[in-house]
Each structure stands twice: as C-alpha cells, then as structure tokens.
C-alpha cells in the first residue's frame, strides 16, 4: 500500500505541474502593450529621433521587449507607402500609432478613428485638419506642433543676413505634402514683402530632384527647402547638388545642416520625439488623445561651419 500511496502522490504532483505549465506559458505569452511606429523615412535617417523616443519610454518604465513592444515600419520617404503601413498597423491591433509629418498622420487617421495616434512633428495640425484645435484636439489624434508656416518669414530674414546679395530665391518643395503647400504660400508672401524674385520647384519623387536643380541653374541666389519625408530621405543628395550649384540652403532641422546644408531654423527634432514618448506613455496608461493638448515647441538656429 505504501507503494501505491507514493505513486498517487507522484501522479498528483505531475498532474498539478502539467496543469500549471500552460498557465505560466500563457502569462509569458500575454500580449504586451504595443506601439506601432510609422517611420516616414529610413531607420538611419531617423536614428536619433527613434533613440530619443525609446530612451524616454525607458525612463518612464517601458522597456522595449519586456514591458512594451514596438512594431517599426519604414516608408523610406515614399508617401504612397503611408496608407499601406497604417493599414498594416491597424491590422496588428497596436495600442497606439506614433509617427510624424502631415501626410503620414493623415494616412493613419484615415486608417483608424479608434486607435490613438501621436504625431511627433506636424507643421500646422489645425490648418491641415489633423486636430480640431491645439487646446482640445478631439478625436483620436494629438501630438506636437512646430508651426512651420509661422516661421517662414523668420527663416528668410536669417537667410538674408547670411546672404546679403540675396535677390532671387528658389523654393524646392514636395507639393504633394499639404504642410509643404501651406509653407510655400508663406514663403512666397514673405519673399514678396522683401522684394525677392521667387522660383518654385515642385518635387514629388526622388527622381524629380536632379531636374529641379537643372531648372534653377543660374536663376537663384539661395534655396529654401520645406522639410518633410522625401526631403529628409534625400537630404545628402540635395545638399550635394546645392553645394555643386553654389546655392546656400536653409531648412527647419539640424540634421540637414549635419548633412552639409548651410543653416536651419526650427525645433530640436529628437526632443520632439522624446516628448512624443511622454504622450504615448499617458495614452498607454489610459489617457484619451482627444483630451491631451497639442504642444508647441520652441525653435533654434543651426549653421554649418
């Protein structure tokens, strides 16, 4: 009988262990809160921004792979990919989508009215229809605004100080980006007020960049470039051609100066992604994006040496 008793206890122990194993396995496999990261450019071009975002999440208690999952997708400066990526992230049922640039936010907003969307950078979120107002965004979208259109005149004033002989200004912009279209109008108005001649060069694809430079050869003293995904992805090519054409350039972000652009006036973009980490944290902890005011960030001047 002693033998039978031992076997029964062993059997019960084994049975208990077998029953407990799936529970433990399920606990380990429980779905982590998931952030869908829609990168409008490439991993290399956005490395500083992504690192700032992930670092801020870590400081707030979200460790990638342990307490939060991040699904990265990269559009490589091709705006036609935004809708495809946004749809994929919705299909994955992520808890929040983080992105930047107006076209990417629009694509995400069209893909879902339920999943919260955080934009780290948007030039004019009210003017482009991303949010109802800065104080009360409403809906499922919020983030950080750089109010780029308000800064066009300031950039031209700075450019004129550096290039005192400036008479003819070229604007190279992706007209398919609503934010760039708004900024073009601001630049043209500011240029007219300064008595400058303006030539606007429209680009929509990387293949349009070289012909644009050919079109302005000998017709401009400086180049103003609204920054957005296509420009960010091709910034080295653009600056190489600008240097070859001896055209001083002005942008809105320091990364363009680090890629041989002459100067920039705009916000610290890694800092914007850091702040996007704060907003994502609030949403993951239960806040509604429509109740989180859109932040406006300060700007600074950067120049090449």
* Structure confidence at residue 84 (pLDDT): 97
Q: Are residues 95 and 39 in the same domain?
A: yes
Q: Are residues 274 and 140 in the same domain?
A: yes
- Give 162-185 pLDDT, tens digit per residue: 999 999 999 999 988 888 888 899
| 198 CB-near residues (< 8 Å, 6+ apart) | 168, 169, 170, 171, 187, 188, 191, 192
Which of 24-38, 188-202, 243-257 is predicted with the least confidence, judged by mean pLDDT? 24-38
- Quote the CA–CA distance of 44 and 293 in Å, as a whole number: 30
CATH number at residue 105: 3.40.50.2300
Q: Are residues 159 and 193 in the same domain?
A: yes
pLDDT at residue 155 tops 60: yes
Q: Are residues 133 and 55 in the same domain?
A: yes
Confidence category of residue 148, pLDDT binned at 50, 70, 90: low
- Quote the CA–CA distance of 152 and 225 in Å, as a whole number: 10
* Structure confidence at residue 202 (pLDDT): 94
* Structure confidence at residue 20 (pLDDT): 42
Q: Can you give the C-alpha Rg of the chain in angstroms? A: 25
Q: Are residues 230 and 124 in the same domain?
A: no
* Structure confidence at residue 149 (pLDDT): 57
Indicate whether 15 belongs to any domain. no
Confidence category of residue 223, pLDDT binned at 50, 70, 90: very high
3-class SS shares of the chain: helix, strand, coil, % to 5: 45, 20, 35
- Give 124-141 pLDDT, tens digit per residue: 899 889 999 999 999 999
Q: SS3 for 286? A: coil
* Structure confidence at residue 92 (pLDDT): 97
Calculate the alpha carbon distances from 76 to 3, 71, 109, 271 in Å: 70, 16, 20, 22
pLDDT at residue 145 tops 60: yes
**Sign of the CA dihedral with 285 first, then 290, 293, and 295 last:** positive
* Structure confidence at residue 146 (pLDDT): 82
Kindly report the length of the chain: 305
- Quote the CA–CA distance of 98 and 254 in Å, as a whole number: 21
Q: Percent of the chain having pLDDT more than 90?
A: 73
State how many domains the chain has.
Answer: 2
Q: What mean pLDDT, rounded, does the chain reach?
A: 88
Q: SS3 for 51? A: helix
Is 216:199 a contact under the CB 8 Å cutoff?
yes
Parallel/antiparallel/unpaired status of strands 300-303 and 263-266? antiparallel
pLDDT at residue 201 tops 80: yes
Indicate whether 21 belongs to any domain. no
pLDDT at residue 49 tops 70: yes
Indicate whether 102 belongs to any domain. yes
Indicate whether 9 belongs to any domain. no
Calculate the alpha carbon distances from 8 to 20, 79, 258 in Å: 18, 66, 73
24 alpha carbon, distance to own chain's centre: 38
Q: Answer whether 0.85 is exceeded by the pTM.
A: no
Give the closest residue to 290 by CA, choosing from 118, 128, 120.
Answer: 118
Indicate whether 22 belongs to any domain. no
Residue 132 structural domain: 34-146+268-298
pLDDT at residue 304 tops 60: no
* Structure confidence at residue 267 (pLDDT): 85
């Amino acid at each position: 009988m002693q033998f039978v008793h031992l076997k029964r206890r062993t059997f019960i122990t084994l049975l208990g262990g077998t029953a407990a194993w799936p529970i433990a396995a399920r606990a380990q496999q429980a779905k982590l809160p998931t952030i869908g990261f829609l990168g409008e450019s490439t991993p290399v071009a956005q490395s500083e921004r992504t690192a700032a975002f992930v670092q801020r999440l870590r400081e707030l208690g979200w460790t990638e792979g342990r307490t939060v999952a991040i699904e990265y997708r990269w559009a490589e400066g091709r705006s036609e990919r935004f809708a495809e990526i946004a749809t994929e992230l919705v299909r994955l049922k992520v808890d929040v989508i983080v992105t930047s640039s107006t076209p990417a936010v629009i694509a995400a907003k069209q893909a879902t009215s339920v999943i919260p969307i955080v934009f780290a950078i948007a030039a004019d979120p009210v003017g482009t229809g991303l949010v109802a107002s800065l104080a009360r965004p409403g809906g499922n979208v919020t983030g950080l605004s750089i109010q780029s259109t308000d800064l066009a005149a300031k950039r031209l004033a700075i450019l004129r100080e550096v290039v005192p002989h400036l008479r003819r200004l070229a604007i190279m912009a992706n007209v398919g980006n609503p934010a760039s279209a708004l900024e073009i109008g601001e630049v043209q108005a500011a240029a007219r007020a300064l008595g400058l001649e303006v030539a606007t060069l429209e680009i929509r694809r990387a293949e349009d960049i070289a012909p644009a430079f050919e079109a302005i050869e000998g017709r401009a003293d400086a180049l103003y470039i609204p920054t957005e995904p296509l420009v960010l992805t091709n910034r080295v090519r653009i600056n190489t051609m600008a240097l070859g054409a001896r055209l001083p350039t002005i942008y809105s972000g320091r990364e363009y100066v680090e890629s041989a652009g002459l100067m920039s006036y705009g916000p610290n973009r890694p800092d914007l992604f850091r702040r996007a980490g704060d907003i994502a944290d609030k949403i993951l902890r239960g806040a509604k994006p429509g109740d989180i005011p859109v932040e406006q960030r300060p700007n600074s001047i950067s120049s090449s040496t």
